[in-house]
């Protein structure tokens, strides 16, 4: 059975640039918020996307699912909660949800499957050892 690693919560303040003409968060921005939390997960685990890039490696999205539950609006503070599961030595699944900080109202939830690839060949490559280790710790 794969270990599920819970990443620290990631907070986001909603600015006018995040909203549509009605003052609600534009639907595509939730995907950006998920991405910021995933990037924070990598950097918190000493994985530099810049170094990966220099080594011709990069993370790509294999699959994404998102359910919109309640609209966030200008001035809200949101919290992205993420858990990560190793799917294989080259893939991870992020189960993510965004809640309203003040009362924990669920805003949206998503599942994002990420794969590490060689940028030239587009073939899967093993995740960095530092990352694999967090899934093997007891």
In tens, the pLDDT along 33-83 reads 999 999 999 999 888 889 999 999 999 999 999 999 999 999 999 999 999
Residues 6+ apart with CB under 8 A from 103: none
Q: Give the pLDDT confidence score for residue 138 in this predicted structure.
A: 52
Q: What residue has token string 């609209």?
A: 71
The full set of domain ranges for the chain reads: 4-136
Helix (H) or strand (E) holding 110: strand 106-118
Q: Number of helices (H) and strands (E), helices first, in the chain?
A: 3, 5
Q: What is the mean pLDDT of the segment spanning 88-103?
A: 95
pLDDT digits (tens, 9 = 90+) for 6-46: 889 999 999 999 999 999 999 999 999 999 999 999 999 88
- Enter the tokens of residue 20: 């549509």
pTM of the predicted protein model: 0.90
Q: How confident is the model at residue 137 (pLDDT cuts 50, 70, 90)?
A: low
Q: Give the pLDDT confidence score for residue 25 in this predicted structure.
A: 97
Secondary structure class of 5 (helix, strand, coil): strand
Residues with catalytic function = 20
Architecture of domain 4-136: Roll (3.10)
What is the C-alpha separation between 22 and 25, in angstroms, rounded?
Answer: 9
Nearest by Cα to 113 from 87, 131, 135? 87
Q: Give the pLDDT confidence score for residue 3 in this predicted structure.
A: 77
């Amino acid at each position: 059975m794969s270990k599920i690693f819970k990443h620290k919560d990631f907070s986001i303040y909603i600015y006018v640039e995040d909203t549509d003409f009605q003052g609600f968060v534009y639907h595509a921005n939730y995907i950006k918020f998920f991405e910021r939390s995933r990037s924070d997960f990598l950097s918190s685990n000493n994985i530099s996307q810049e170094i990966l890039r220099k080594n011709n490696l990069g993370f790509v999205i294999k699959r994404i699912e998102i359910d919109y539950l309640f609209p966030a609006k200008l001035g809200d503070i949101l919290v992205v909660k993420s858990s990560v599961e190793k799917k294989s030595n080259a893939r991870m699944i992020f189960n993510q949800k965004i809640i309203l900080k003040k009362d924990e109202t669920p805003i949206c939830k998503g599942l994002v499957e990420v794969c590490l690839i060689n940028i030239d060949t587009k073939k899967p490559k093993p995740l960095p050892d530092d990352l694999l280790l967090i899934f093997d710790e007891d």
